[in-house]
Structure 1
Amino acid sequence: MRVTAPRTGSTAASARSLPTRGATTSEPASVYVRSLIRSQLRLGITYALGFVGATAAFVLAIVLTPVLDETFVWGVPLSWLLLAVGIYPLAITVGVLYARAAARNEARYRALTEAP
């Protein structure tokens, strides 16, 4: 298989109509889609701000505890190890919680748009 540039006379990808998965173009459907988009945006911003706040609190707690800089584990200051290892579980937890909440939002959307 070889990837080539599009022909000059072809329709741009953005101008082509994309197939829809059973979605109608009625007013209630567009309201539901806009509502889902707003809901997902709110969710993303909330989780991003929560992650930034929790990370800042974690870093601030390490900075304000000077004994961590004086304690060494395998020749590395304990504060560095806490930063290196402590942020990953936080990021994974926030990511998992976000994915579950986003899936719940989409399930609610599907329940509203599916015919009874």
Structure 2
Amino acid sequence: MTRVRVTAPRSVNAGAARAGTVNAGSIPPDSTALAGGRSAAAAREAAEESDAGQLFIRSLIRSQLRLGLVVALGFLLILLAFPLLLGLVPGLAESTIAGLPFDWVLLGAGIYPVIGLSAWLYVRTAARNEARYRDLAGEQ
């Protein structure tokens, strides 16, 4: 049995695309065909190879990177605010809730909603960025 390393999805052979045929296994049979025998995947690849397509892809990558950095920085700022809150408010670190120290309750139970909210905002905004890319690139 031979080991095979898959590094990228198969693409349409340029000569076969011009002739209206594709390599077996390169594009799923349920793809919608476009005019001239080209599939939706082949049209997307051609759009990505153009100057405008490259610009759209770079813009998407930059917006996703910016989003990731903003969410991570916001999360870190909130996480760092907890010790500041405990240090600046007198007596807060010594108080207890149901026999547990307040700082443990704050970090143990208070951080999970922040993590969930950060994740939800990230996924929602990343999906919006990708939808904008698809609109700009003309994909359906």
The two structures have a TM-score, normalised by structure 2, of: 0.66
Percent identity over paired residues: 42
1:109 is the counterpart of 2:102: no
Q: What is the letter of the counterpart of residue 104 of structure 2?
A: W
Give structure 2 stretches of 5+ with no counterpart: 12-39
d(CA) in 1 for partners of 2:58, 2:94: 53
d(CA) in 1 for partners of 2:94, 2:50: 65
Distance 1:44 1:72, change over 3 A: same
Alignment map for 1:1-116 (pairs within 5 Å): 6=3, 12-14=5-7, 18-19=10-11, 21=41, 22-23=43-44, 24=46, 25-114=49-138
Give structure 1 stretches of 5+ with no counterpart: none
Distance 1:18 1:58, change over 3 A: farther
Write out per-residue CA displacement over residues 51-87 of structure 1, whole angstroms, 9 at most, x where no aligned residue. 1011101232123334233222333212211111111
d(CA) in 2 for partners of 1:5, 1:64: 64
- SS across alignment from 1:88: helix
Which has more radius of gyration?
Answer: 2
Q: What is the letter of the counterpart of residue 90 of structure 1?
A: V
Q: How far did residue 95 of structure 1 move?
A: 1.1
- SS across alignment from 1:79: helix
- SS across alignment from 2:93: helix
d(CA) in 1 for partners of 2:58, 2:130: 12
Q: Give 4+ residue runs of structure 1 displaced > 4 Å after superposition.
A: none
Moved more, 45-54 or 68-77: 68-77
Q: What is the letter of the counterpart of residue 10 of structure 2?
A: L
Q: How far did residue 29 of structure 1 move?
A: 1.0
- SS across alignment from 2:110: helix
